[in-house]
Structures are given as C-alpha cells and as structure tokens.
Amino acid sequence: MKVVPTNTGFGAHVTNLELGNLTEAEVTELRNVWLAHQVLAFPDQPMTHAMLEAFTLRLGEFGHDPYVAPIDGHQNILEVRREPDEKVAPFGSAWHSDWSFQEKPPAATLLHAKEIPPVGGDTWYADGYAAFEALEPQTRDYLCSLTALHSARRPYSHQGFIAGRGPERSMQILPSDSALEVMEHPLVRTHPETQRKVLWINQVYTIGIKGLDADKSNELLKRLLAHSVEERFVYKHRWFTNMLTLWDNRSVQHFAQGGYDGHRRVLHRTIVAGDRPF
C-alpha cells in the first residue's frame, strides 16, 4: 500500500492495493490510514456493483438512505447522476454531512466514479477536526455545551422538494413528511474511534441551536458555518473515471461542485452505518 498525503495531511491518495482482494491485515491497516487522513482516493479501481458492495461491507454494515431511490436490484447503492441537458443544480451542491439528521448518521461514505466530465464536477471536503481546533479555547468550551438541531426538511420535505426543483432531476428523489422531523445532536461531537472533537454542523441539515432564540441561533450558525469551510480547512478533490473515494462522515463535510453543463456525470454511492453522536 502506497499512501500519498495532500500537503496538509487532510486527504490522501492510496495506490498499490486491490480493493476486491484485501486480507484482514490490509483492511485494518487501511482503516488506520483512513482515520488518519479522513478522505482517501483510490485511483484506477474498476468496480462492479457487487465489488462496491463487498468492499463497503469490509468497513461495516450498510447505512440507510431514506430519500433517494437505489439502483434496481442493489438497494444499498445510489446512483448520483446529472445529464448533459439537466438545468437543476448538482445533487449535493451545498456543504453537508450525509444524513446528519438521522439518529445514527453514516460513519463513512464511498463514491465510485463511473462517468466523469472533462471539466468541473470536483468534490470539496472540509476538515471538522481542524475547524474545531482553530477556535479559541473559550469558544470551544462554550460550543461543547450546545446542542444542534438537524432536519431533512430543506431538501426532502414535499415543500423542499418542489423548491429545490426535485422533479427536474434525473435522479429519483423520494420526498416525505418524515423529513420534517428534528434530531438533536451535539454541536461538537467526539469521534468514536479517534476521540478527537469535531465541529459538527452543516449548511443543509443543521437548522438551529437548541435553547437559543432564532436570531441568536442563526447568527451563531452563520458564523460557525463560514468558519468551518474556510480555505485552510478544505481539500479540493479532482475525479477520474474508476476512482473510488472513501471519507469519514463523522468528521468531514463535502460539497459537489458544478461547472460541467453539457456533460454527463455518474457516480455510485454507498454508506456505512454509524453511531449516535456524543
């Protein structure tokens, strides 16, 4: 296994590894590399549906995807697709942690590139560890006492589905009244494996802070959200066909970039089940 970190160490490329034929020792080593770098990219890894499913299961059980229809015959694989003539914004084109509104959000997300446009279509990742650690100690202590409110209402309620032009997507979105529910999570979570603190909020699903009035909540969230995705915390990932990425959804936000109108972009996604944040 060859690991080439980015300049900051947040994110790394991994080569000399056949993901479909890993020993238990290699899985353990790979998990440690993943925990250290948070976002891993594996170039030149052609994968069938079965191979993607099998590799995902080496990392943990599948998570639950509530609001996007899966691929036929593969209930744990989503196809992230945007057609050349599609006018709606790309799926995932705002900062978010996958399904943070769930009681037990995913521990990991895997994304395999099937068809990549010649321009645009990058994914940006933001380091929640670094964002938290860059705050003043007094601010960190205060934030650790707060509870954030998460909900899927903005993109996946019936109203949000229409407002976000969901019917115009090539992907099949499944809006539901369940998206109106609210889940409480610590605003600063402790990673269950590394024990490091994470500033754990995001633009799409974090809708407020418990115990603060709307103005104070919105003001604090706006400031923290801007801080969490400052350039110094961001890794800008460029895709290539047959590349797989694996990221730690417990410490990382991500943002799907556009810039490829007139070209098709297709990737397949799985998630690994996680624990309730604490």
State pLDDT tens for residues 35-70.
999 999 999 999 999 999 999 999 999 999 999 999
Q: Is residue 174 part of a domain?
A: yes
Q: Is residue 277 part of a domain?
A: no
pTM of the predicted model over 0.75: yes
pLDDT of residue 16: 95
Nearest C-alpha neighbor of 99 from the set 40, 179, 165: 179
Q: Is residue 41 part of a domain?
A: yes
Q: Is residue 261 part of a domain?
A: yes
Count how many domains the chain has: 1
Q: Is residue 212 part of a domain?
A: yes
pLDDT of residue 56: 98
pLDDT of residue 167: 94
Q: Is residue 55 part of a domain?
A: yes
From the centroid of its chain, how far is CA 69?
Answer: 18
CATH number for 224: 3.60.130.10
Q: Is residue 278 part of a domain?
A: no
Residues lower than pLDDT 50 in the chain = none
Max Cα-Cα span within the chain: 53
| Structural domain of 54 | 2-272
pLDDT of residue 84: 97
Integer angstrom CA distances of residue 22 from 27, 61, 209: 6, 17, 43
Distance CA 94, CA 75 (A): 25
Q: Is residue 28 part of a domain?
A: yes
